[in-house]
Each structure stands twice: as C-alpha cells, then as structure tokens.
Structure 1
Amino acid sequence: MKVLTFADRAGMGAAAASDIAHALRERLARQEGVRVIFASAPSQTSMIEQLRAMPGIDWSRVTAFHMDEFIGLAPDAPQRFGHWLDLHIFNALPLAAAHRIDPGADPEAEARRYAALLNEAPIDFVCLGIGVNGHIAFNDPPIADFEDALDVKLVELDAVCRQQQYDDGGFDSLEAVPRTALSLTIPRLLRADRLFCIVPGAHKRDAVHGALHGPLSTACPASILRGHGNCTLYLDKEADPDA
C-alpha cells in the first residue's frame, strides 16, 4: 500500500483529488465509462470539493455508487448518507447515473437489489476512508468478514462506530444514531481495480497504525487494505502514526 502524508487536510485533499482525476481521465480515454464507489463522511469533504473542480473529466460517462446507509431514518432525514452524497457529488456533477442505497421497509431486498447493480459491470475505483475503530464502509470489527459471501448486507453498528457518528456532528444525541445499516462488504470493496483511501485527523491515528502496522485481522478491518495491491492511503500529518 502506498502511503502519502501531507501537512494538512487541504493538501491531502488536493493530492487525492488530483490523483483520482488523473485516474478518471486515463480510464475514460480507453473505455466507454467508469464506475466509482464513494464514501460519505466529513473526512472526504476536502477531496470531493477539489475533485469537482478538476478539469477535463467527462462526468457524463461516470456512474457513481455509495457504500453504506443507515436503516430506520426518515427519507428526508439530513443524516442519511445519500443526502450527503447528493449535496457533494450526485447532484453537483452531470453523472451518467447515481445509484443510491435506500433501505426502505425491506433492507434485505434492497441489499440484493444494490448488489445486482454493483455486479452489472466491474467497479473501477473506490474512494473510501477508515473509521475510528478501523472499519471500512460499515464493516465494524465485531462483524467484519474478509471472506464474506455477500456483496451488500445488513450490519449492526458497534458502540465506537455509533460514537463516531455522533462526534461527527450529524446527530443531536448518541441515542439518535441508528443501530443498523446496509453496507457493502469488504470483499465487494476489494474487488475494485483501484482504491483511494483518504484519512485525516488525529482521532484516526490509532486506526491508521493498526491498518499499517498491526496484524492482518478483523480487529482492524482496514488492515486488509495492505493486501489489495493498488491502494493509496492519503493522510494528513495528524493522522499519520509515523509522522
């Protein structure tokens, strides 16, 4: 795994956006369309804002997906990750298509529907982060499975993950944070051709240390990124345990 560290969040976001833009241009020059999975979290904002401004990307040939969504929130709840993606990506760019996860009244059926959409063609790129507990998407340590047979599944969020959602400022109380979600699984994410992992902040330092230096274990799900072969990790200095 290639690891790049920058002085601050803005520099990290600029470098990641530049690399993603280059990869998009290069891929679009040799194939009809590109399929990208985006994380939805404050950690991604700097990169996304700068990626939107990058020139020379034919967004009309890019199909976008998101990787996880809370269960049990009202369709118009501002905390839904789909709304974050609408604001920052899906409605801000002239995409070929934007596929949203909508758990609705039957999350299991939605998991199957979304998995089928993902499997219609290869996924080119994933833009992701790492959670405080080392999760990728909503694959928290208690339920993370490196050999998961599913592509999208219903998951229970652990206490550290729910605390992070509250600390990120989206919810008025910890009790208001949903306890379940739909999430892409780890094998589904790893089947993408290239991963861009953007992780700022001192609160992520321990998780990054586990991802880089700890055992390959679901105790830190992000440790599996070391084995992907085409993953770049972008850190600011606060998140880098070796800085």
Structure 2
Amino acid sequence: MRKEVPGMPRVRVFEDRAAMGRAAADDVAAELRATLSRQESLRMIFAAAPSQREMLNGLATAEDIDWGRVTAFHMDEYLGLPADAPERFANWLKEAIFDRLPFGEAHLIEPGPDPEATASEYAALLAKAPIDLVCLGIGQNGHLAFNDPPVADLDDPFDVKVVELDRTCRQQQVDDEAFPSIEQVPSHALTLTVPRLLDARRLFCVVPGRLKQPAVQRTLHAPVSAADPATALRTHPDCTLYLDAEAAPRD
C-alpha cells in the first residue's frame, strides 16, 4: 500500500473553469521550459477528457517551448471502437493538442486486435526513459485514468493493462456528452495503472465542475486506498490540484 506524503497535493482554487485552465496551462508551460533548460528532452503523459480542454487550449498557445524535444503519451483508450470513431481518446487528443503542436514524438494507444499485446508494447515504450510530467484529472468515482474502484490497484505490478469499466465511469462519459447513452459506452479499455502514472516526477491534476466535488473531497480526506483511487495522489511528492469553485472541497 502506498504511504501518504504529508501536505500533498497542493490545492489551487479558481473562480471559474477559464481561470483554472489558464493557471494550470501557465504552470505546465513554465515546468516545460524549466525542464528543457536543464535536459535534452522531456516525456509527458496527457489525459483525454473535456475537463482538460481549458488547460490544453492554454498550453497549445504557450510560447518559447521547443516541442520538438517533447515526447507525448496518453493514458487510456477504449476497446471495441473503430479507429476513426470521434469518441476514441486518441482522436480527441489529436484535435485538442497533438495535431496543434510539433511534438518530437507522440505515441497514441492503438488497441489493435490483441489489446494484451498492445498493453505490453506501450508499457515498454513508457519504460524507455523516465516520465517527467503528467497532466491528468479525477473521475466522478475517483478514478485515475481508467483505474475505477473495482479494478484499481495502488500497488499494481503492471504499467498498462486491460480493465472493465464500472457503471459510474461509463455514465460519466454520457454526462460529458461523449456518448448519447450508457449502452454505447464501451465496457472495456486499456489504461496506464496508478503506479505508472505516479512514477512521473511532477503531476498537474485539473478537476472542474460540481459533479467532481465529492470525488475531490474524498481525494483530499478519505483514507488512501483503491476504494478511492485518486487518494493515491497524496502519496506523490510533487502534485498540484487545480479546481474551479464548483469542484472545491467544502472544508
């Protein structure tokens, strides 16, 4: 079981989503510049979700970043959707950020006919060098990536795996207007695991909206456990949580 790091994560609260997104984008951009000033390249992981859009829009217009020295990954992908489906996270990220910036490399998860083999191959790509930054969110059920409470393992031995999505997670996709009904949301996905995400040097976690407020409350105050996977953020030594007023904890 991961042990809590006292005082973590840092929490920043803003009046609205726009201010939250600008601040997070400014902080990510500043960290990119600082890291690239002291090392030749940088590796980072992105979440694909509407909650990230304001931050990604800000990051796409950030200046003085040598994106050609940045390698990008993403953290989860549905199984069973056509390659060109707009609901695919890879396609969402292409539109939101990957096609807007000249990354040196961008590795998207392509499940293919053998998702288990894809999981192993993507894990190997991630393991080639340390991950510097992760831009992530928190699900309504407290998930990180697609590590829902029923399948999350805070000490997972795998870096990438196939998981079954729980009903709350699938309903969130409908609430986010990614799918018209829960029946159309895939039941399985590939995801980076909690230890793989938390192995990065720095985490930027962007969480707006009133529907996320209970999850944020648990993240900060519930016992660290797989029952609320996002509580694992409290075990990381360098995590910042960006919230709008609706998502902010009540105490």
Do Structure 1 and Structure 2 share a fold, with TM-score over 0.5?
A: yes
Query: Which residue of structure 2 aligns with residue 160 of structure 1?
Result: 168
Cα drift, residue 172 of structure 1: 2.0
Whether 1:204 aligns to 2:212 is: yes
- Of 121, 129, 132, the residue aligned with 1:113 is 121
Structure 1 residue 35 corresponds to structure 2 residue 16: no
Q: Name which of 130, 141, 154 aligns with 1:146.
A: 154
SS of the aligned residue for 2:25 comes to: helix
Question: Identity across aligned pairs (percent)?
Answer: 60
Equivalent AA in structure 2 for residue 48 of structure 1: L
Match for residue 80 of structure 2 among 58, 65, 72: 72
- Distance (whole Å) between structure 2 residues aligned to residue 81 and residue 65 of structure 1: 12
RMSD of aligned Cα (Å): 0.7
Identify which of 182, 185, 205 aligns with 1:174: 182
Amino acid at match of 1:146: L
1:20-99 map, 5 Å: 20-99=28-107
1:67 maps to amino acid: M
> Displacement, 1:88?
1.1
Counterpart position of 2:225:
217
User: Stretches of 4+ moved more than 2 A in 1?
Assistant: none
- Shift of the alpha carbon at 1:242? 2.6
The two structures have a TM-score, normalised by structure 2, of: 0.96
1:235, CA displacement in angstroms? 0.2
Q: TM-score, normalization: structure 1?
A: 0.99
Which amino acid in the other structure matches residue 174 of structure 2?
Answer: Y
Aligned to 1:232, the other structure's residue is in SS state strand
CA distance in 1, matches of 2:80, 2:143: 21
Give the partner amino acid of 1:220: D
Corresponding residue for residue 102 of structure 1: 110
In the alignment, the residues of structure 2 paired with residue 76 and residue 205 of structure 1 have an alpha-carbon distance, to the nearest angstrom, of: 33
Q: 3-state SS of the aligned residue for 2:22?
A: helix
Residue of structure 2 in register with 1:13 after alignment: 21
Q: What are the Cα deviations for residues 27-57 of structure 1, in whole angstroms up to 9, with x where unaligned? A: 0001111101000000000000011111111
Q: What SS is found at the alignment partner of 2:152?
A: coil
Q: Which residue identity lines up with residue 103 of structure 1 in the other structure?
A: P
Secondary structure in 1 matching 2:38: coil
2:246 to 224, 238, 243: 238
Q: Which residue identity is paired with 2:145?
A: A
Aligned partner (choices 188, 199, 217) of residue 196 of structure 2: 188
Match in the other structure for 1:127: 135
Q: Aligned to 2:130, what secondary structure does the other structure show?
A: coil
Number of aligned residues: 243
C-alpha distance in 1, partners of 2:155/2:220?
A: 20
Structure 2 distance, partners of 1:12, 1:53, is 16
Q: For 1:172 and 1:217, how far apart are their aligned partners in 2?
A: 32
Gaps of 5+ in 1: none
